[in-house]
Structure 1
Amino acid sequence: MTQVSDHGGGVRSIRVPIPDNPLGHTLVYVVDTDRGPVLIDTGWDDPASWDTLTEGLTMCGTSPDEIHGVVITHHHPDHHGLSGRVRETSGAWIAMHAADTAIVRRTRETQPGHWFAYMTAKLTAAGAPEEHVAPLRSARPRTLPGLCPSLPDREIVPGELLDLPGRRLRAIWTPGHTPGHVCLHLEEQHPAHLPGHGRLFSGDHLLPGITPHIGLYEDPDDDGGAPTRAKPSVGEVTDPLGDYLDSLERVGRLAPAEVLPAHQHAFADAPSRVRELLTHHEERLTGLLNLLTAPLTPWQLAERMEWNRAWEQIPYGSRNIAVSEAEAHLRRLVKLGRAEAVPGSEPVAYVAV
């Protein structure tokens, strides 16, 4: 059954299902404004998800054709997937940070075959075995969910109030999970007068019981679609994990009275949760350094990292995500001067210093 929660002060949430995903659902928030309801995220582009969103909006006293606008925390399909359908139904605008809009545009323009070629080269460079890479070499281009996301028509500018008449919703840029991830600070007194500064729609940046995935976002058109194997200078590479940790600290200093995340449930005491996540990542980096006493490729490191299940039980696609996370942690360690690439290694291996 469709589940709707009233958070008070003209804010409700709808649990929109994500098909075949352990997360289960995305919390889509419905925010009342003087020009009609505005959605924060929309859920996965799936018929059952659309039906749930529609039913949930009816339970909130509105409907898809009355939506005034859609604010996207980040471009992932469980957040942005239904945005286009909402816009087609209502004429609503869609807003997103420019860095994630660039990814949406790139995704729309890149042919699936090019992505398969890029992933083949990327995983080979990371040290993946041939039996893992081989399916990508023979993959037939096909339509996959999220490969044609809707282009937004408004830009979310960090630090500025969004155009929501009658509300004070300020954009906080929180890169890490994606380059353009934003949290949204509702600068209004908490309806239950909880201590703190307003409420924070945190997307996937700050969740009560999950550590969000932090991986690498590369452009497949760089260097002809193949990842660079030479060691880049520290100033030239992105550092998603470093960005995420910095963003966490900024969110902690906001000290909102309540956090309204995109998954799980609302919670208080954001600074405490931030401290838990900062400690978790520091311990994880220390653990990886212990693994890197001998040279390891990103694939070998991912095999040895601690996940929520044994490596042999991790599905094929999730292994690709795990390798990307290992690479993000390696990049952080290299930037901190705590690890380095082994000269002449092919595929490139890393060791603690």
Structure 2
Amino acid sequence: MTQVTDHGGGVRSLAVPIPDNPLGTTLVHVVDTDRGPVLIDTGWDDPASWDVLTAGLAACGIPVAEVHGVVITHHHPDHHGLSGKVRDASGAWIAMHALDTEIVRRTREHKAERWFAYMADKLEACGAPEEHVALLRAARTARRSSGLPQFAPALPDREIVPGELLDLAGRRLRAIWTPGHTPGHVCLHLEEAHPAGLPGHGRLFSGDHLLPRITPHIGLYEDPDDATVADPLGDYLDSLERVGRLDPAEVLPAHQHSFTDAPGRVRELLTHHEERLTGLLTLLATPLTAWQLAERMEWNRPWEQIPFASRNIAVSEAEAHVRRLVKLGRAEAVAGSGPVTYVAV
């Protein structure tokens, strides 16, 4: 059974499963327009997910062939995965922010082995133990010899321009650039009165930027061709404050459920990250690598129980936080250290 929720005012959501993922589902939003339905995100590229998506559309009285367009909040596969199949079935256009489109283009053009080598080098520089890095190098070798096809997400047709209204006939949907989770993440502000008359300013499709009960992953913006030291956590915190000022009547996220009081949720997230930064400063009384920081940080389970892939994500998040401390002048890299260690100042 496909879970379909009618949010009123020509907006519905479909819960599309994410295989083997604790999040469970991606909420694909369906927005009626004068030229046909438009999807906000599409879900994971998996046969079962596709079946649920198309069944959900059918339950809304929409053959997939009638989808007019697809707006993607960010490039991650649980959001962008099925976009190509939707376009193949309907001729719909796909829109995405230019920075995430560049990631899609790079994914399509570069061999996966290059990414494995890059990540192995990054983990080594973060102080990961050799037995951990060796697993990534082994995965690179196994993929090279397996003959598996390259991962090729759909290349978008249109660019989402921050601050502008999207070209949706009969609707006012404005793009709000909210980097942090990815460099090109966007929220979408439906500048229309709430159908149930809730107080506030329209509705916000928040993607992964603003979720009701969990915090999105804030890691590093990975680009093997770019040596710029980005500040993803700083980007995210700035974006949070911008969204809080919108004060939407209701938030329609891509996971979990809709909710109200966006400014209150923004304050909770700002407090969470400030507490985490303060905790890291305490840890950095002694010089530590990003890997050692991740081992000591509080996660949803003990470090010993965190699986291989999730440890990579945790280390990326630890480095994103320590980069923020460095930018704020509250920590610094220890000169000449290798792997790089950081210390509070």
Q: Does 1:182 align with 2:186?
A: yes
Question: Counterparts of 2:38 and 2:149 in 1: how far apart (Å)?
Answer: 24
Contact persistence 2:108–2:150 (CA under 8 A): no
Q: Which residue of 1 aligns with 2:89?
A: 89
> After superposition, what is the alpha-carbon deviation per residue over 1:137-175, rounded to whole angstroms, capped at 9, x for unaligned?
222226889931100000000000001000000000000
Task: List structure 1 segments (4+ residues) > 3 angstroms apart after TM superposition.
Answer: 142-146
Q: Which residue of 2 aligns with 1:304?
A: 296
SS at match of 2:269: helix
SS at match of 1:320: helix
Question: Counterparts of 1:38 and 1:351 in 2: how far apart (Å)?
Answer: 49
Question: Counterparts of 1:124 and 1:11 in 2: how far apart (Å)?
Answer: 47
Q: Which residue of 2 aligns with 1:276?
A: 268
Question: Counterparts of 2:255 and 2:148 in 1: how far apart (Å)?
Answer: 23
Q: Which residue of 2 aligns with 1:233?
A: none
Question: Counterparts of 2:211 and 2:11 in 1: how far apart (Å)?
Answer: 18
Q: Which residue of 2 aligns with 1:170?
A: 174
Q: Which residue of 2 aligns with 1:20?
A: 20
Q: Which residue of 2 aligns with 1:117?
A: 117
> After superposition, what is the alpha-carbon deviation per residue over 1:293-314, rounded to whole angstroms, capped at 9, x for unaligned?
0000000000000000000110
Q: Report how far residue 220 of structure 1 moved.
A: 1.5
Q: Does 1:156 align with 2:160?
A: yes
Counting only pairs closer than 5 Å after superposition, residues 256-335 of structure 1 correspond to structure 2 as 256-335=248-327
Q: TM-score, normalised by structure 1?
A: 0.95
Contact persistence 2:248–2:262 (CA under 8 A): yes
Q: Does 1:351 align with 2:343?
A: yes
Assess, with a 3 A threshold, how the Cα gap between structure 1 residues 255 and 35 changes in structure 2: closer, same or farther: same
SS at match of 1:138: helix
Question: Counterparts of 1:143 and 1:60 in 2: how far apart (Å)?
Answer: 41
Gaps of 5+ in 1: 223-227, 229-235
Question: Counterparts of 1:136 and 1:317 in 2: how far apart (Å)?
Answer: 9
Q: Aligned pair count?
A: 341
Question: Counterparts of 1:41 and 1:128 in 2: how far apart (Å)?
Answer: 35
> After superposition, what is the alpha-carbon deviation per residue over 1:327-350, rounded to whole angstroms, capped at 9, x for unaligned?
100110000000000111110100
Question: Counterparts of 2:207 and 2:335 in 1: how far apart (Å)?
Answer: 40
Assess, with a 3 A threshold, how the Cα gap between structure 1 residues 143 and 42 changes in structure 2: closer, same or farther: farther
Contact persistence 2:112–2:150 (CA under 8 A): no
Contact persistence 1:77–1:145 (CA under 8 A): no
Q: Which residue of 1 aligns with 2:219?
A: 215
Assess, with a 3 A threshold, how the Cα gap between structure 1 residues 145 and 322 changes in structure 2: closer, same or farther: farther
Please say which of residues 95-104 and 134-143 is displaced more in the overlay: 134-143
RMSD, aligned CA: 1.3
Question: Counterparts of 1:278 and 1:158 in 2: how far apart (Å)?
Answer: 23
SS at match of 2:19: coil
Letter in 2 for 1:314: I
Q: Report how far residue 132 of structure 1 moved.
A: 0.2
Assess, with a 3 A threshold, how the Cα gap between structure 1 residues 241 and 146 changes in structure 2: closer, same or farther: farther
Question: Counterparts of 2:129 and 2:70 in 1: how far apart (Å)?
Answer: 42
Q: Report how far residue 221 of structure 1 moved.
A: 3.1
Assess, with a 3 A threshold, how the Cα gap between structure 1 residues 27 and 167 changes in structure 2: closer, same or farther: same
Assess, with a 3 A threshold, how the Cα gap between structure 1 residues 145 and 310 changes in structure 2: closer, same or farther: farther
Contact persistence 1:81–1:146 (CA under 8 A): no
Gaps of 5+ in 2: none
192, 209, 232: which one aligns with 1:205: 209
Letter in 2 for 1:352: A
Q: Which residue of 1 aligns with 2:41?
A: 41
Letter in 2 for 1:174: T
Counting only pairs closer than 5 Å after superposition, residues 100-115 of structure 1 correspond to structure 2 as 100-115=100-115
Q: Report how far residue 237 of structure 1 moved.
A: 2.2
Question: Counterparts of 2:167 and 2:150 in 1: how far apart (Å)?
Answer: 27
Q: Report how far residue 275 of structure 1 moved.
A: 0.3
Question: Counterparts of 1:113 and 1:257 in 2: how far apart (Å)?
Answer: 46
Contact persistence 1:77–1:146 (CA under 8 A): no
Q: TM-score, normalised by structure 2?
A: 0.97
SS at match of 1:286: helix
Aligned-pair identity in percent equals 82
Q: Report how far residue 43 of structure 1 moved.
A: 0.1
SS at match of 1:285: helix
Letter in 1 for 2:118: Y
